[in-house]
Chain A
């Protein structure tokens, strides 16, 4: 039942005096509360790490031998201050695209690549410029390049898309980023396994299918999760390549 002792609010009439103090307090609480939540939530964000597009390095141009894993790599033979000779560079296109159509005709040949570097610690990648400006055949003798098998390994860690992980997005890994990672991997951006324990000195490994094909379909369901998997590891210059066995994929707690 209504009570004539209590103030009665009607929206289109002046607010009863007895309610004004309470409503003023609610307004102050609401405004200060929202500001407080904005601050508390704003400062609670995790550090996305040091990965980034290195526009500050300027455009990088180096020469090397193109390899397909099938993800395109460049075994650098003529480097520069940032990308030394002997380094193995993963190559990507703009956005969530790959450069396979441009790299396949140059497989096993000497090529000059040009683009913007992405770097997170020891992990890096080159986003190539468009067309022949990004990759083109180079003159010179093709040196002998080696692939060293390191045997079968069982590893724990996370499958990421190498480009976002390297700094295209900050943050660029984790379950909240899974759909984005999947979309990158569907675009054949090089996948990278982040191992909890270093393998032959490296915690980042390029991931392929067991027979050197693109990332198996089954693996997409495990992207961004903490998993264990087995596979053959090989060293290509300073980059490790993991030929994963999709039947060994397992989610870890």
Chain B
């Protein structure tokens, strides 16, 4: 949550996250570059520039694979949500590692000619009509371009400036970028590799990313089917007896929006399930200090107005509620973000405050 924009709002968890990430990356590179060559029994070493390019390229692939596993893993088991918290730092770091890989490649394979090395990168191989010998560099350029765009727009300033939905759409480009990396590797180094350890790790990583996403999607689909509401003006959410104070029930409306109905101190309120920050699932959060707290990044909202507490300015739509007996019903029409709605006393919970 922010009032003014600063580069990074550091806290203890972010320091720990970044330290672990940097230590892992540093060890990967150190082991690849300095420990592994002693084990290799090559008569003459691989050129250091090629060796460096491979180390940074392989590291970027592994990092990207880990990053893409975090999202579905957190969907499948919320205990992994802390890994999501500072993922953007991981993404920015991956971009720098990928740029270093590209730098070594361009400064080695495409240098030393009478042509500009960046132009040479584009014209040296133009066999686009064939599979074997396809200019796999093009896939790498595309992926790197996307990574740079994503890293450059990763700050909350850009999310606010572009609006969260557009920002989110742009950041979904990570998937085409990953596919492009897979193609880059498949049409490149895998074509020459005699030792298939890399092939195994590479395929394992790609399958893991695909498999986790598939599992998360299937779980989400099953959950959505259970939550889906009929196309009526007022939708039944649950019975009050099913609710726990400080927590929410989520309903998927026919229009596709999700609504989170909270029981707070014996009263019912409903807000959009999508956090204004990164569309995090507010209904999977909890009320802390009288405020709904998003499980992804801890953004907070007044459950009655959908507004972040001053001086913060984020706001989400609210919904009107009513009760029929002990049944909780929500109006499918959302109120404009930040609209105060008087909480509805929950039948049977009047004494709680």
Residues on A lying within 8 angstroms of B by beta carbon are 1-4, 6-15, 19, 22-23, 26-27, 30-31, 33-35, 37-52, 94-97, 169-171, 174-180, 182-184, 186-187, 220-225, 251
State whether the Cβ of B350 lies closer than 8 Å to any Cβ in chain A.
no
The CA of A142 and the CA of B23, in the complex, are separated in Å by 66
Which residue of the partner chain, among A8, A31, A251, contacts B286 with CB atoms under 8 Å? A8
Closest residue of chain B to A253 (Cβ to Cβ) is: B132
What's the least CB distance linking A15 to chain B, in Å?
7
| CB pair B85 A2 closer than 8 Å | no
Complex contact B79–A4 (CB within 8 A): no
Asked whether, in the complex, the Cβ of A37 is within 8 Å of the Cβ of B82, the reply is no
Cβ contact within 8 Å between A4 and B244: yes
Q: Does B46 contact A (CB under 8 A)?
A: yes
Contact present for A44 and B195 (CB under 8 Å): yes
- List, sorted by A's number, 12 A–B pairs whose CB atoms are closer than 8 Å: A30-B24, A30-B66, A40-B201, A43-B197, A48-B45, A50-B43, A96-B112, A96-B114, A97-B114, A174-B192, A179-B121, A225-B132
Q: Please report the C-alpha to C-alpha distance between residue A9 and residue B246 in the assembled complex, in whole angstroms.
A: 15
> 1/0 per position for B40-57, CB-CB distance to A under 8 A?
111111110011001100
Given contacts A11-B13, A171-B46, contact A37 B293 (CB under 8 A): no
A187 to B78, CA, bound (A): 57
Contact across chains for A1 and B250 when beta carbons are under 8 A apart: yes
Beta-carbon contacts of B187-202 to A below 8 Å, as 1s and 0s?
1110111111110010
Per-residue contact bits, chain B 10-49, to A (CB 8 Å; 1 contact, 0 not): 0111101000110111011111110111011111111100
Nearest opposing residue in chain B for A167, CB measure? B44
In the bound complex, do residue B32 and residue A42 qualify as a contact, i.e. CB atoms below 8 Å apart? yes
- Residue of A34, A51, A179, A182 near B27 (CB, 8 A) is A34
Interface positions of B (Cβ within 8 A of A): 9, 11-14, 16, 20-21, 23-25, 27-33, 35-37, 39-47, 50-51, 54-55, 58-59, 62, 66, 78-83, 85-86, 108-115, 120-121, 124-125, 127, 130, 132-133, 135-137, 187-189, 191-198, 201, 244, 246-250, 283-286, 288, 293, 295, 297-298
CA distance A13 to B1 in the complex (A): 13
Chain B, Cβ-Cβ closest to A27: B20
**B44 A170 Cβ-Cβ under 8 A:** yes
Which of chain B's residues has its CB closest to A170's CB?
B47
CB pair B112–A1 under 8 Å, yes or no, is no
Closest chain B residue to A3, Cβ basis: B247
B28 touches A175 (CB 8 A): no
Q: For A44, A50, A220, which residue has the most chain B Cβ atoms within 10 angstroms?
A: A44
Interface contact B27-A2, CB-CB below 8 Å: no
CB-based contact A37/B133 at 8 Å: no
Contact of A42 with B55 in the complex, beta carbons under 8 Å: yes
Known: A31-B27, A183-B110. A175 touches B39 (CB 8 A): no
A26 neighbours in B (Cβ, 8 Å) = 80, 83
On whether the beta carbons of B197 and A180 are closer than 8 Å, the reply is: no
Distance, CA A7 to CA B35, complexed state (A): 40
Q: Are A12 and B286 in contact (CB under 8 A)?
A: no
Instruction: Say yes or no: B42 contacts A41, CB within 8 Å.
Output: no
Closest 10 CB pairs of A and B: A42-B36, A95-B112, A38-B31, A44-B197, A174-B192, A38-B28, A96-B113, A42-B32, A34-B24, A180-B109
User: What residues on A are CB-neighbors of B20 within 8 Å?
Assistant: 27, 30-31
Check B283 against A9 for contact (C-beta < 8 Å).
Answer: no
Is there an interface contact between B249 and A1, defined as CB atoms closer than 8 Å?
Answer: yes
Residues on B with beta carbons closer than 8 Å to the beta carbon of A223: 133
Beyond A41-B201, A43-B39, whether A7 also contacts B55 by CB under 8 A is no
Given A31-B23, A46-B193, A94-B112: A38 touches B78 (CB 8 Å cut-off): no
A31 to B30: give the CA distance in the assembly, Å. Answer: 12
> How far apart sit A182 and B298, CA to CA, in the bound complex (Å)?
53
In-complex Cβ contact of A221 among B127, B136, B247, B288 (8 A): B127
Told that A38-B30, A176-B136 touch, could you supply 10 new A-B pairs with CB distance under 8 A?
Answer: A1-B283, A34-B25, A35-B31, A38-B59, A47-B41, A169-B47, A169-B50, A170-B47, A175-B188, A221-B127
**Minimum CB–CB distance for B101 against chain A, Å:** 13
Query: Contact partner of A97 among B16, B113, B192, B283, CB < 8 A?
Result: B113
Determine how close the nearest CB of chain A comes to the CB of B118; give it in whole angstroms: 12
